[in-house]
Structure 1
């Protein structure tokens, strides 16, 4: 039986479909009911979650990176017993994960960090799982990962000691930033070539088959363009989860150049600015040294 602390409904449903018995807790009642309706056992508190599980317990934590992860793991650690395992499936910073694993290890608990990719499609397509931490705990809980993965022998693996799973997921997200930015720039260039009247959705679908750049990201790009070819309903504002920043910071620490990933992160920052000051200053400098005209604000 697996305890799922604040875990996503799609992952819960996939585990239930795989025959696992699930106890689910979330502070939000509606979130709990959504997984209870799928067949999970409801827990209204972490105490109740632990009570419903038989040792050695496995509790999967799925919360945002930062203080809330520390609080959740700290609360669990005080209630679990020797031999139990905490699984952190969120996007934690791998350095925090190494620290947390040492802390719970002092209490006789084990910890696995699971970098999880797949998004909203994981329920049907399976999740890519990059797992770090205690090797024995991984072997014991491997059936869980097999159920969540795209297949019983693909899409998941134990990649190293504590922190390794989240480190690999961090780099994965950095690569994702670069791939997304390349697609965005290429399609923007084609959209600007008005005289050719290019159908961007059609081109995306052509590239999906046989092309060197075919990928799931391209599939999703095609789907987005099918829905709204001009993207008029979407603002040019792109958030970042934090993992792109950590990837760039790590590259600085290791003196490993990653110019594409770094540039894609900077592009996301730029997307959030209205009339960026730097661009205004560029226009002002051109006016100063060459008398070039500037466009005045209305």
Structure 2
């Protein structure tokens, strides 16, 4: 199949390369000249503009967006509406908020276009291992895109699925990322406890390797943890600052809206926020309160 890949950052370029390896033609669009040059080396056909990329393919066209969630997606869709023809397909493989996806699908449908949302997981390992994809959209349209999903997935019949109508793909990816927050936090806390038990002088990389085989807590995240501890056991040079993509926040907001208790995911997000506090006013106030009611000593900064 022929398609346009818009956004040739690491994820988009890797997905495009995997599709090329699978025998598909990919025309690449990106504002960065270096990104286009790198893509060309991988067999991706570079286009100097979005219009040129679209013009390179006959209708019905497939345009796959791999760009940051937010206003950029709407900007690109506005441009594409003037470039595409009826029955062309736009795929959003980024981390868009599912409510935005539902809105966008309705808007494009009014213009005679089809919109498919693909919640994509796999990160930098996806090129070699394949991607996990949660697909939302019209059944007939998703079915027509099956060869693309089969080429990107770990296996033709594994790691991807049509999970529901427009928005369902991004919704399930949102929850996936919320779960990921909780799992990562649990691993981090457990290894922190073991690292603190100085008298046992535990080799945390060894422990991670033991847990990777046969343990009920084995997972790909644990595999990555073992890799990180092998490279840098003391985690030297790494600042205790943890970013978030926003999907954990959306998951928690959805849980509140649906009256679903999600304490682990919520607390894992709060811990990420806490990691960014260089000078915590709240902690200072806690120390001051303990001193006021119990005379507990206050440590000077």
TM-score for both structures, normalised by structure 1: 0.99
Find the aligned partners of 2:95 and 2:225 in 1 and give their Cα distance: 24
Residue 257 of structure 1 corresponds to 261
Residue 226 of structure 1 corresponds to 230
Farther off after superposition, 133-142 or 261-270: 133-142
Quick check: 2:65–2:94 contact (8 Å CA) kept in 1? yes
| Deviation for aligned residue 1:42 | 1.2
Find the aligned partners of 1:77 and 1:54 in 2 and give their Cα distance: 16
Find the aligned partners of 1:42 and 1:13 in 2 and give their Cα distance: 12
Q: Secondary structure at the match of 2:145?
A: helix
Residue 3 of structure 1 corresponds to 4
Could you list the per-position Cα deviations for residues 253-292 of structure 1 after superposition, in whole angstroms to 9, with x for gaps in the alignment? 0010000000000000000111311111110000000111
Find the aligned partners of 1:70 and 1:212 in 2 and give their Cα distance: 43
| Deviation for aligned residue 1:34 | 1.0
Find the aligned partners of 2:71 and 2:151 in 1 and give their Cα distance: 30
Instruction: Find the partner of 1:35 among 36, 39, 48.
Output: 39
- 1:206 is the counterpart of 2:228: no
Provide the alpha-carbon RMSD of the alignment: 0.7
Q: Secondary structure at the match of 1:73?
A: helix
Residue 20 of structure 1 corresponds to 24
Residue 145 of structure 2 corresponds to 141
Instruction: Find the partner of 1:81 among 75, 82, 85.
Output: 85
Residue 238 of structure 1 corresponds to 242
Q: Could you list the runs of 4 or more consecutive aligned residues of structure 1 that deviate by over 6 angstroms after TM superposition?
A: none
Structure 2: give runs of 5+ residues left out of the alignment.
Answer: none
Find the aligned partners of 2:135 and 2:81 in 1 and give their Cα distance: 20
Residue 287 of structure 2 corresponds to 283
- Say how many residue pairs are matched: 297
Find the aligned partners of 1:224 and 1:37 in 2 and give their Cα distance: 30
TM-score for both structures, normalised by structure 2: 0.98
